[in-house]
Amino acid sequence: SGAAGTLGEEVAALGLGFPRSLEAVRVVRDVCRGSESARVEVAKLGGIKVIVSELVKGGNAFRGPAAEAIEVICHKQPSNKKLLAETGGIKLLISLLAAQVVSPVITPFFLDMAA
């Protein structure tokens, strides 16, 4: 899609060495879109916007409910768990989000899930 191309270009322009982390982001997005249980988990925590805002704050992101929500969402589907691991794992995804350099680029991608 055009949005994914733009996202890839923006991240490439930042000079980050984690191109496959974009695939991990897509996995989380697609699992949320395709799974009622994932949507329920997200809703329980206040929705995608709350999760993203918590992640981009950094700090205790690894131990917070946002991290737990993404773990739960990804681990409900073994194939997604495997792909996430291959693309750098949940910690890489969270660290990219928490690193504020990347979050302005990736956050809109997550917000797209809320639609």
At 39 the pLDDT is 67
Asked if residue 93 lies in contact with residue 28, where contact means CB atoms within 8 angstroms, the answer is: yes
Query: Terminal CA-to-CA distance of the chain, rounded, Å?
Result: 16
Q: What is the mean pLDDT of residues 45-60?
A: 56
Give the mean model confidence (pLDDT) for residues 41-61: 57
pLDDT in tens, 53-110: 555 554 444 455 555 666 666 666 666 666 556 656 666 665 555 554 444 555 555 5
Confidence (pLDDT) at 81: 65
| 17-21, 22-26, 71-75, 84-88: the lowest-pLDDT one | 17-21
What pLDDT score does 106 carry?
A: 52
What 8-state DSSP symbol labels residue 3? H
Distance CA 23, CA 18 (A): 10
Cβ–Cβ under 8 Å, residues 69 and 76: no
The CA–CA distances, whole Å, from 45 to 1, 59, 91, 104, 106 equal 29, 18, 19, 21, 20
pLDDT band at residue 4 using 50, 70 and 90 as cut-offs: very low
User: What is the mean pLDDT of the segment spanning 39-47?
Assistant: 68
Question: Could you tell me which residue, 37 or 64, shows the higher pLDDT?
Answer: 37
Residue bearing the bigger pLDDT, 111 or 81: 81
